[in-house]
């Protein structure tokens, strides 16, 4: 299985001047992907950052999370448990 890594420690996304520069740029280079790693820096009950919501809603990707029980309480429609 091939895994593509982008970000400050890895490669620069194609056609993006700077990672995170714009939603349009991120959406373009992430469009072929169905899944994304969306690990939080800290896991706190009842607190979820943009890493989850942005990937799921704006980019239509399935976020892979580290602590499932935090997200289960959100009752996200059509999510896998």
Hey, what are 19's tokens? 């990672």
pLDDT at res. 49: 77
Please tell me the pTM assigned to this model: 0.61
The domain ranges of the chain are 1-32, 34-72
**For residue 20, what pLDDT is reported?**
55
Residues of the chain with pLDDT under 70: 17-21, 70, 72-81
Give the integer Cα–Cα distance in Å for 23 and 69: 28
Residue 62's SS3 state is: strand
Within 10 Å of residue 3's Cβ, how many Cβ atoms? 5
pLDDT of 19 reads: 56
């Amino acid at each position: 299985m091939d895994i593509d890594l982008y970000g400050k420690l890895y490669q620069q996304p194609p056609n993006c001047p700077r990672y995170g520069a714009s939603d349009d740029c991120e959406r373009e280079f992430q469009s072929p992907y169905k899944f994304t790693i969306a690990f939080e820096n800290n896991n706190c009950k009842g607190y979820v950052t943009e890493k989850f919501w942005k990937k799921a809603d704006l980019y239509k990707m399935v976020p892979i999370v580290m602590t499932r029980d935090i997200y289960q309480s959100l009752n996200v429609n059509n999510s896998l448990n």
